Amino acid sequence: MSTHYDVIVVGAGPAGLMAAKTAGENGLKVALIERKERITDINRSCSMMLVSLGGEYLGERILLNTKKNRLCFPRYGFTIPYEGPHQDFYTWSIYSHRGHKIQLGDYEENFRKGETGRASAVYNKEILLKGLLKEVVSLQVDVFPSHNVIGTMKDGGKVKVITREGKSFKGTFVIGADGRVSRLATTLGLNRGRKFFGDVGDGATRKLCPLSNLSR
């Protein structure tokens, strides 16, 4: 396998797999680097929910097509495979810290509408990742599991990506899809001017980073 690529994608979650898939579909030479040994394994808590089936969310309304086994994104003009199970939800109930309930939608009414009445659905993320990975591999993308990226540097107009395992990759573009607290973004010096608005969980994370970053 080559160590020189048009695009290097760091992180093989849904965002990284989609980035590698799209680049491969456009004829680019792509490397996909993931620190986990088994890319499709889910080893942490994840909601695994499609939240926008009942309306637009961030400018898009996702469609779950159970006949074609696809997730559809009509505004942005693409679909992805999904052949797993799902659980439909037809309403939302929100409780305040004082116990007050806010009911969004009428369950009985929405249930009678069937698929058109559902507000959201839970899916199997492992199956989603398997479908995306299958398409990525079919596009001749070089996939490197068990490679933990620890550093990046500019090198002669390119970007060099270095892993803890002693391997280095050189690319024209590098896409960081390694999570909300992106190590790649940190090593490239990105997002230093971004404001901190808050954190989730135990407070160990004190930096706000986007889900993906592009560097050349």
Kindly give the confidence (pLDDT) of every residue in the chain, 216 residues in length, as a single tens digit, with 9 standing for 90 and above.
567 999 999 999 999 999 999 999 999 999 999 999 999 998 877 778 888 777 787 788 888 998 999 999 999 899 999 999 999 999 988 888 888 998 888 899 999 998 888 888 999 999 999 999 999 999 999 999 999 998 888 888 888 999 999 899 999 999 999 887 787 777 777 777 777 665 544 444 443 333 333 433
pLDDT at residue 109, as a whole number: 92
Q: Which of 69, 73, 81 is nearest to 130 (CA)?
A: 81
Residue environment code for 92-112, b if the CB has 16+ CB neighbours within 10 A, otherwise e: eeeeeeeeeeeeeeeeeebee
Per-position DSSP letters for 173-216, written without gaps between them: EEEE-S-SS-HHHHHTTTTTTPPP----SSS-------S-EEE-
What pLDDT is stored for residue 190 in this prediction?
Answer: 73
Residue whose entry in the numeric block shows the structure tokens 């990284």: 16
Give the pLDDT score at 196.
64
Is the Cβ–Cβ distance between 65 and 80 less than 8 Å?
no
CB 210 within 8 A of CB 181: no
Q: Which among 121, 66, 61 is positioned nearest to 91, based on CA atoms?
A: 121
pLDDT of residue 187: 73
Task: Give the single-character DSSP code of 115.
Answer: G
CA distance 216 to 197: 28
Question: What are the structural domains of the chain?
Answer: 4-43+134-194+207-215 (3.50.50.60), 49-123 (no CATH)
What per-residue confidence (pLDDT) applies to 1? 55
